[in-house]
Structures are given as structure tokens and as C-alpha cells.
Amino acid sequence: MPRVKPTKKLDVLGNLDLRPEDAVGDYISSKQQNKFFVIPPNSDSAGDSIELIYVNNLREHEAMLKLQEEMLTSAKRQTKLNSARVRNMYKIQERLRRRFIEVNSFIKDCADKKRVAEKTAQAETLNHKELGEGIESFKDSIGELKAFREALKATVQEFQPYEKVLDEVVKVSDIFVSPKDCTDRCDALMLAQVEINKLEHQKLQDIENMRQRMVQITNDAALTVLGLKNDLAKLERSYNESRVQCLRWEKILAKTKDAINNNYMDKERTIDAITNLHRILLRRRDVHSFPARGDLDKVLDAIMGEVEILTGVVKEIESSDPSIKHEEARDKSLC
């Protein structure tokens, strides 16, 4: 019997109640009601027996075997048809492959022929263009020749009287043999005049080049002279500075020389004084052999010894008679 209170909360499977503490009471209350009770159809019929079910199943099995045999026969026939179709397909594929190769070769040949045709057409176009330009140039040349012809005719008509005059001049003159000789000589004179003008122009050009070269050489020489003047001025300044420096050093050296001379004279005077003192001391001892002037070590040692002796004498005199003054004792000791 259906429930009065259907479940509202289901689990993940959808057929179990998630509230078991409430589900039992709901089931009991739904079982006790008759409102939603439904009787299934043919609830009182006995149903099919096992023999009838067996017969039905046997019929279905035979029908299934027959259908299986038919399907097997159809599958074999379909397999043969498929094999024939596959063989036919392979033949068609091979034929299409050969056809494709032929068509591809034909396309390549067409492409090669197209390239050759394009190259030929391009070459022919260039040739046509060149020929067209040549034709145009020929037309221009023909037009120029026609114009020259017309001008020549006009010139001939213009110089026709001069030809008559030239014939008369040749007849009268003894210099010219024929009109051609006259024209040749005139042409020679004109060519000579052209050569003269050319040589004149060349010589003028050479003179101009020489003038420019002389100007360049003059400018270079002027620059060289200016540089030499600058160098000379530098040398002069350096010479003046050196001269001033030399004069200053000359003064310094003169003072140094004077100082050296004064020191030398002081030295000589000192040596003379030492020598004279030593001689006085030797004469005091009645010694008449004097040492050399340059032997200062011996002289100074001797003087030192005499001074020590005299100092000792002075001390003895002072110690013996204290009333005698120091100056008097020294005078007595020296005497």
C-alpha cells in the first residue's frame, strides 16, 4: 500500500530513507490507510504454466535458429558480394591510379609547355618591342633623311649661283685646276683653321693650367715662407729666452766663482796662519826644521800638543799662585 506521507529525503541511490527513525512510523501509518490502496490487474488469474512457457520458449528458439541461419546465409552472400566489390574497387583504384599518373604527367607536360610558351611569348614580346623601337628609330632616321634631303635640295638651289661663279673663277684663275680642286683647297683651309683653333684652345688651356700651377706653387711657397717665418720667430724667442737664462746663470756662476775664490783665499790664509803658528811654536823650542806646508795633519797635531802643554803650564801657575791673573799666567807661559 502506498504511504500517506511519502519520503521527501532520499539517499544517493534514491530508494532508501535518510530518516530511519521517522520512516518506520510513516510506513505503519501508510499501511493502515485505504485511500491510496490500488488492486493490481488480473490479481486473481493463475498465470501461464511451466509447459506453456517451455513451448513458447521452444518456438522462440526455433524461430531464432531459423533467423540465425538466414542471417548466416545472408552474411555469406554479403561476404561474397563484398569480396567482389573489393576486387572491383581494387581494379577501379588501380585504373584510377594509372589515370591519375597519366593526368598528372599530362598536367606536368602542360605546365612545362606553358612555361616554355610563356618564355617564348616573353622573348617574342621583347623582340617585338625591340623591333618596334628599331622601326621607330628607322622611321625617325627616314624622317631626318627626308628633312636633310629637302634641306640639301634647298641648299643646292641656294648655292647654284655660287657654283656658276666658282666655275667662272676657275676658268679665269691660273691657280685652280678644277672646281673640285678649289673646293678641296677650301676644305683643307677650313680643316687647317679647325686644327689651328683646336691647337689654340689647347695651348690656352695649357697656359691656364700653367698659370694655375704657378699660382699653386706661389701659394705653397708663400705658405712655406710663412711657416719658416713662424719657425724663425719661435727660434728667436727661444734664443732670447736662452740668452736671458744664460745671463742669469752667468751672474749666478760669477757669484759662485767669487764665493769659491773667497773660500779658497780664506783657506790659504788659514793654512798660512796655521803654518806661521807652528813655526812660532817650533822656534820657541829652538827647532829650525819646518814640515811641509801641505802636511796639515802633523802640523795640527803638533799645535794641539803645544796647546795642551801650555794649558797645563797655565793651570800649574794658577794652582801655585792664585793671586796671579789668568792673563798674566798666559803671558808668562807663552814667554
Q: What is the mean pLDDT of residues 246-272?
A: 91
DSSP code at position 40? P
For residue 11, the model assigns a pLDDT of 46
Separation between Cα atoms, residue 53 and residue 209, nearest integer Å:
140
Distance from chain centroid for Cα 69: 89
> Tell me: the pLDDT tens digits for 175-196?
767 777 777 778 888 889 889 9
For residue 321, the model assigns a pLDDT of 67
Averaged confidence pLDDT in the chain: 81
> Tell me: the pLDDT tens digits for 1-55?
444 455 444 444 445 555 666 666 766 766 666 666 555 566 565 566 778 888 8
> Tell me: the pLDDT tens digits for 277-318?
888 877 777 766 666 666 777 778 888 888 888 888 888 888
Enumerate the domain spans of the chain. 1-39, 176-244, 247-334
> Tell me: the pLDDT tens digits for 108-153?
999 999 999 999 999 999 999 888 888 988 888 898 889 888 888 8
φ, ψ at 164 (rounded to 5°): -65, -45
For residue 55, the model assigns a pLDDT of 87
φ, ψ at 10 (rounded to 5°): -115, 160
- Rounded to whole angstroms, what are the CA distances from 267 to 195, 261, 264, 273, 274? 102, 10, 5, 10, 10
pTM above 0.85, yes or no: no
